[in-house]
Structure 1
Amino acid sequence: MANSHTLETNVISQSDRARLRQRALVLSLALWAFMMGLLYYAGTFTSGGPIPPFELWLIRLVWMASGFALGWLIYRILEWSMERSSVGPIVSLVVLVCVFGALHTIANSLLYFELAGLSATPFQMFGLVTYWLHFQLAWGVLILTLVMGAQASAERQARLQAQREAQVAQLDALTFQVHPHFLFNTLGAVSSLVGENQFEKGEEMVRKLAVFLRRSFRREANDDVTLEQEFEDLRVYVRIERIRFEKRFDLKFSLSDCASDALVPGLLLQPLVENAIKYAVAPSADFVSLELAAKRIGDDVEITLTDDGPGAPQTHGLGTGEANVRNRLVARFGGRVLFSSGARPERGYLVRMRFPYQASIKSEQDQARSE
């Protein structure tokens, strides 16, 4: 079974890893150049006592070059261990820096003492190792910060991508709940009309159904549409239902200009209109008026659907209709969604929803040109 570090590290793409290695190289070069500058200005770069300046200069260059190469080796081992080992990156780095850093300091110190004709006591070697270990650990902390920062960024992007994919899948599932339900109802109505020898009405309903399906199937299931397009789709749907219910209702559309370009999931409102027809129009012998209105309120869009039918408040809106619409809004816009429904004080039913205004790209470009 893959361990957690394998999963986390593999989130970083190959291109990001290449950039990360370049940054690690640049950072290491900068730190060693900084140390060279400190040694030079501190006067220890060329003052080596019994060692001639030229030889001391070569020793220092070998020390820095080998330190840089060793640092790059530590980085690659750290990268490898994070992919294949269950040991945490912090523990891996501390162990690598302490072991390789101590060996590097001891080897260079022994070379220095040998060329100087001096002997080093264990206490002196311990002091040199601990002294340079501070610098080596500081380098390690910077490298670890660089690696873990890139890893955290990659994981965050992966989580966002997973959330987006989950939202798309949820929208697909909710959208697929709408189409079969509507199709079964409409085809059932056509069958009833044909059975009653109302062939002309049945033919007209089939034609309007074809128009409706052609409009809706041009888009992917989870595609956004503007409110203007959504209202046009609903007009076609209402024409079908008016044939079915022999024009016993009418739906008034009210769409403000500033809200017409707002984006919503396709066929978002159709289940609500279907519910209104089912609970307000179907049980009523009187003519029923419905109104669908959309407007901008600050940075939000508010949509209301009202009817004056006699539907019982305790049953109006049962089923998947309202839950479907609410869930699709939440999947699309997140937590900034308000949704309420209930009986009106005077008569009928009211559904109100509010969500963030997001315009289509085309409308944003048109607005930018006008400015």
Structure 2
Amino acid sequence: MQPLNQQPLVQKILNQPNYQFWALNLFGWAGYGFFVALSAIFWDRHLGLQAAYTLMSVTTGLVLSLGLREFFKKIWNLNAILRGIYSLLAVIVITGIWSFVKMEVFFYLNKDMESSRSLYEYLGWYTYSFFIFLSWAALYFSLKYYRMLQAEKEKTLKAQAMAHEAQLKMLRYQLNPHFLFNTLNAISTLILEKETVTANGMVTELSKFLRYSLDNNPMQKVTLAQEVETLKLYLGIEKLRFEERLNINFRISESARNAHIPNLLLQPLIENAIKYAIAKSPNGGTIELDADVLHNQLSIQLSDDGPGIADIPVAMRDRIEGQHGGVGLANTRERLHELYGAAHSFELENIEPRGLRITIRIPYSSTERSKAA
């Protein structure tokens, strides 16, 4: 990106209010001068004298318009009624000065023309000059209000973007204390049983997982392959707790491995499955993760062989299904809504003979696709 002072003139005119003012002001007065000069042909006047008059008229009008601009700046912070009254008075005074100068110079250059220099003659000059400066003032205020409106829109969009980011960060950092408490209790038990090697391994895995969770920007996305590696850190901790009671199967297609997803999107779902499907069963259970790209969408299915939704108490089911904003499935549902809106789907279904399947579909994007584009 070029520095602001090295931008092309057209870009400066489009982006900077001061350049816009000068461009429009010069263009407007040049247009006025063109038609004044052109009137020499229709009125059969001396071309050289008309050119001199045109130059004087345009120069005087331009200088007076700059003075009018400075006056408008000084009264801008007044209330709307006072600002309107003072602006109209300023236009009346400026028009009076401009009309008098133009009339005197015109008749001085055209000495062969008869003129009574009457009030009636002056009012004729004043009338059309007034509408020129009134139009100038109207255009000035219109552009001023337009820029203010645009600035307010930008502030609103920026505030909405910041609120959106804050919402995502809040959802992203809702780590379930249940996981931390259970892990710390497991470490404490291992230490008491003098299984220091296993305890040390669990501490190391927990440290890696927490570092990843807290250090990564929740607004950025990661590949599904990176997400799976993070899940392995988390599952490595849980595996130390549940040992043979926890079985894990990953089936990720090659195209799905490079797909972009929000980081730590699946961890709350895995945690939920462990809490309700593995920990509740004396024999443990199996968690399966399948991912593939179908019809330009990334499809992710997470299944367990726990009780499913039907056998969970209604109060707990409401929390799981996200109706009351709980951490877990509700967290994931909200994050997906914030990021993808109507372009995603999130479905829960019981599977036979027992278990729960969560299906997520989001628009497919990948590093390879970005490079190809």
- Normalising by structure 2, what TM-score? 0.77
The whole-number CA distance in structure 2 between the counterparts of 1:339 and 1:189 is: 33
* Matching residue of 1:26: 23
User: Are residues 89 and 259 of structure 1, via their aligned partners in 2, closer, same or farther at CA, if it must alter by over 3 Å?
Assistant: farther
The whole-number CA distance in structure 2 between the counterparts of 1:61 and 1:178 is: 74
Among 104, 129, 132, the residue aligned to 1:132: 129
* Matching residue of 1:325: 332
* Matching residue of 2:302: 305
Q: CA RMSD in A?
A: 3.6
Is the contact between residue 223 and residue 257 of structure 2 (CA under 8 Å) also seen in structure 1? yes
The offset of 1:281, in angstroms, is 0.8
* Matching residue of 2:8: none
* Matching residue of 1:367: 372
Is the contact between residue 40 and residue 47 of structure 2 (CA under 8 Å) also seen in structure 1? no
1:316-356 Cα shifts (integer Å, max 9, x gaps) = 55331122212222333345343333534642112233333
* Matching residue of 1:338: 345
Alignment pair present for 1:68 and 2:38: no
Among 336, 347, 353, the residue aligned to 2:354: 347
The offset of 1:358, in angstroms, is 4.0
Is the contact between residue 261 and residue 359 of structure 1 (CA under 8 Å) also seen in structure 2? yes
Matches within 5 A, 1:135-150: 135-150=132-147
Among 241, 263, 267, the residue aligned to 2:264: 267
* Matching residue of 1:224: 221
1:46-80 Cα shifts (integer Å, max 9, x gaps) = 866xxx87666544322211111222333344455
* Matching residue of 2:205: 208
The residue type equivalent to 2:303 in the other structure is T
Is the contact between residue 175 and residue 222 of structure 1 (CA under 8 Å) also seen in structure 2? no
* Matching residue of 1:157: 154
1:144-172 Cα shifts (integer Å, max 9, x gaps) = 45444444443333333322222222222
The residue type equivalent to 1:322 in the other structure is L
Matches within 5 A, 1:237-316: 237-311=234-308, 312-313=311-312, 314=314, 315-316=316-317
Is the contact between residue 300 and residue 357 of structure 1 (CA under 8 Å) also seen in structure 2? yes
Paired residue total: 348
Identity among equivalent positions (%) equals 31
Alignment pair present for 1:177 and 2:174: yes
The residue type equivalent to 2:68 in the other structure is I
- What 5-or-longer segments of structure 2 have no aligned partner? 1-11, 321-325
* Matching residue of 1:118: 115
Q: SS of the counterpart of 1:328?
A: helix
- Normalising by structure 1, what TM-score? 0.77
User: Are residues 73 and 310 of structure 1, via their aligned partners in 2, closer, same or farther at CA, if it must alter by over 3 Å?
Assistant: same
Matches within 5 A, 1:79-98: 79-82=73-76, 84-87=77-80, 91=84, 95=88, 98=91
Q: Which region of structure 1 is more displaced relative to structure 2, 18-27 or 279-288?
A: 18-27
User: Are residues 72 and 92 of structure 1, via their aligned partners in 2, closer, same or farther at CA, if it must alter by over 3 Å?
Assistant: farther
User: Are residues 142 and 283 of structure 1, via their aligned partners in 2, closer, same or farther at CA, if it must alter by over 3 Å?
Assistant: same
The whole-number CA distance in structure 1 between the counterparts of 2:365 and 2:67 is: 50
- Comparing both chains, which one has the higher relative contact order based on Cα–Cα distances under 8 Å and sequence gaps of 6 or more? 1
The whole-number CA distance in structure 1 between the counterparts of 2:81 and 2:281 is: 70
User: Are residues 365 and 176 of structure 1, via their aligned partners in 2, closer, same or farther at CA, if it must alter by over 3 Å?
Assistant: closer
The residue type equivalent to 2:372 in the other structure is Q
1:65-110 Cα shifts (integer Å, max 9, x gaps) = 111122233334445544x234289958973774355324432355
- What 5-or-longer segments of structure 1 have no aligned partner? 1-14
Is the contact between residue 57 and residue 102 of structure 2 (CA under 8 Å) also seen in structure 1? no
Is the contact between residue 45 and residue 60 of structure 1 (CA under 8 Å) also seen in structure 2? no
* Matching residue of 1:5: none
The whole-number CA distance in structure 2 between the counterparts of 1:91 and 1:267 is: 57
The residue type equivalent to 1:62 in the other structure is M
